Structure 1
Amino acid sequence: MKHKSRIAAGFVAAALALTMTACTTVDDETAAPQDGPKNGENYVFGNIAYNMKDIWNQYSVDSFDFAAASVGVETITLDAENSLEKSISLMEELIAKDVDGISVFPISPDQAATLGRMAADAGIPVTFENTSPALEESEYISVIAAEYDVIGEAAMEYIAETYPDAKVLYVAGAKGGGVYETYQEGIDRSLAELGDTIEIVDTVHGDWETELSMNVTADAIQSGTDFDVVFANNELMAKGVKNALTDAGLDLPIISTGGGPDGLKMIEDGEITATMSAPVSLQGMITFRNLYQQVALGETPEKTVALPVIPVDKSTIAEAVSWEANDAALDYIGGIE
């Protein structure tokens, strides 16, 4: 596999930016560190999850707790179970407990705004992950989220550098939810920059599902679509693509996104070639760090942080950042303090 110099340089820079994030002390009274924890010797931070049945949210909460434990902060995690009404009652509960800070994994930008204003009215600093709130920037600490357009760009650059002149079948997610559309924005930008280096010969929609992705890939094969690389919008879909290719007697590179435990195993087993990893462990740790730095240290973090996108294949899998909370992920972001 050829060296991916352009991608490597970009993501080394991203890693350095994370590990060397500059935090500046501000004079604004609202950003000054508290005199001390409100509830005893240790700070207590609340964390409102949107739905703990969601694996992405589960890993994020675990990483938030891991980061908190590293600096002796107690956490109270409450699950909104994808309910706006419940999330409001949970915010009321944390306010009543007079916690030192609150992190929110929102259901929507408007719900984030509602919870953010509740926290602000109570004088409790609040930070967000995964979704930007419909708030003025002065009303919250920060937000960290995956940028799907950037992931799409990374995938196209990886394919162009690894498989020049590739003819790509794009097995895409569902239309209408905004995620596929954001991916497409990044893909379009990348293709315009890359010129004729690669070509997407067809886009079929597997709607984030394994079986449907298998079926639409099989249909593309049977229709005679000429392709030699597949880009699957997530690793569940990549499984379906692999099944369809195997059934047709084809062994073609599959590039996916995610970087979860299943995805990394698929790379190890040779089922997919590479994945554009966006480690949610970093999301949970960075959202904790942003809250801690302002509440405890009086430093202001960057207002918006993009979750880094790290291309992973067999040549780099040993250095992959796990979705699971561990010291390696904490080291990757340069620690908490």
Structure 2
Amino acid sequence: MAVGELIEDIFGRAGVTASLHVVDIDAAGAGDQVPASGAARPVGGGREVALRADEQVVIASIFKILLVLEFARQVDAGQLDPTERVLVNAADRLGGWGLAGCADDAEVSLRDLAYFAMSVSDNTAADLLLRRVGADLLPMLAAELGLARTRIVGGPRELVEMMLTDVGARTEAEFARIFPTLPAERIRAMPVFDPQRTTSSTAREITRLLGLIWRDEAGTAPACAMVRGWMARQLFWTRLAAGFPPGVRVAGKTGTLPGLHLEAGVAEYPDGGRYAIAVFARTDELATRRIEVDLAMGEAARVAVEALRGE
């Protein structure tokens, strides 16, 4: 069975539709497409596996890779002090993990905001870091890196405010009460699920971004190393990381919205092989916790990488 058929079967058994792009970071000419219907093979000197890789999709928290990259570049250029202190109070807290759960004011450094944004996808940390970095710079960074189809529309706070407005809620507590009562078609019509109206990209562009970071081409070597270090400390392991055997190091960044299970990352093998991966899965159900979907993402990623490695 061709690699594309194997991957489609994995996604089909999990009940999802997904776009996937996996590329050998160090292959000359990486970026040439391997059709999903055929076996993975060298094409024009590059090596990749692609499945709906050019479909525009919502990327949710995966935008935080660009955010911390811009932060790292500014730190390395001497424009920001990573030890600068930030006071996080009740008005700053957004839903999700990390600082949002604090009962009291907390003081952290800019560097620790970047760590929390990547390790536990902390929306509060990302929002505060974005204010300091400058939200207007992220679209410019995407353009500089050749990510022509990557759209950055605000940050976590804008996303939350958009969702509150769309359901007519004044607070997050009110939103939590209203949202579960809405029919699925009403939810899917919300702007946050429309790639043309919210932050979005393609699987191919996100693996391009990862390749640039891992080859020290997205900024200086120290800046790129900072981003790799934060991605390696992500705590969520049930998606891409779950698909690979012990000894393979996986650094990644998840993104999640109801019905959307996303992750982008890099698998590094003991023999030096490095593979950029983006898997963006959509489910009919609007649950955010579906372990079978997470595990299917990891399995599909491993199958694609093994095909590139000739295994």
Coarse TM-score class (shorter-chain normalised): under 0.3
TM-score (norm 2): 0.27
TM-score (norm 1): 0.26
Rg comparison, structure with higher value = 1
Larger RCO (alpha carbons 8 Å, 6+ apart)? 2
